[in-house]
Structure 1
Amino acid sequence: MKTVFVTVGTTRFDELIESVTSEEIVQVLSDLGYQKLVLQVGRGSVLPGPDSCAELVVDAFRFKDSIAEDIRDADLVISHAGAGSCLEALGARRPLLVVVNDRLMDNHQLELAKQLHADSHLLYCTCSTLTQTLRTMDLSVLTPFLPGRPQNFANFLDQALGLH
């Protein structure tokens, strides 16, 4: 079953949950072949029920010990722009669409999304542009995010300190 996983992390981002469960976006997701919508709603006040979207099977929860399995099982991850959520999805090599909360002041999340987008690792938008982004997205242009290699830095330090 082709699945979209949506996460807001530990925050509250009701606007994202309301957007992805709107009739318009549910129809777009269905048109794209998605059949299941898994929602991690965090501290939000919106918790959609299993029958909240006529076109999709819906599973919603607030928190779990780990969302790694949900990410791994997803064909598309839609996430808030928190660094932890972005890195977890990218590390799992899942296609990632980041929705920036443009209502936040001094929005560092936008900077992260722009940089990772510039490197072709993800797509990003806001809730107001989510429908259009979903309609026009081309996931084939995304490139894998390669994890860091801390051993290289450790080797450098060993050499610099004459330990190697």
Structure 2
Amino acid sequence: MSVDERAGRTAEEVAALRERIAADSLTSRRDYLRLAVTMSGGLALGSAAVAAGIFHRHGDGTAPPKLVTAALAPGESIAFSYPGEEDRAVALRMADGTLVAYSSICTHLACAVLWRADRGERGELYCPCHEGVFDPRTGAVTAGPPPRPLPRVLLEERPDGIYAVGTLRSGEEA
């Protein structure tokens, strides 16, 4: 005795049930193509949105000047954000009066870079994660694993303070 016979179904009911199940499970070529095009379009749109965000974030657009501090004495440093609030940077006034600023994000694994005035004659920019060391005058790597110099932040001294006015990529000259 079959399951259908035990359930009390007739041969016609079983045939109708099988036909309905077969019709529901079929996907036409048109439905398949519609699904494939929709998914491809969604993936392309998502990829374009991600790429646009990356290019906008790291593009060559210019940010407006931002006041860093009113004054910076020789041997002092100040942490600030530029060009965006999430972009950490540090400005330094060397003992001889030279004013420089760099991104304070290590080019190795994006750890925080710290100004250490007590290291060496001129001090150093130091990444404690993997002992990366950068020259405070040029941003160049002097020790450790960082592959590139620190990106530079351009500063401008004005009567009312020190302003960040632009950025340069690693190794780029003003």
Query: Which TM-score band applies after superposition, normalised by the shorter structure?
Result: under 0.3
Q: Which has the higher strand share?
A: 2
TM-score normalised by L of structure 2? 0.23
Larger Rg: 2
Q: Which has the higher helix share?
A: 1
- Relative CO higher for 1 or 2, CA cutoff 8 Å, sep ≥ 6? 1
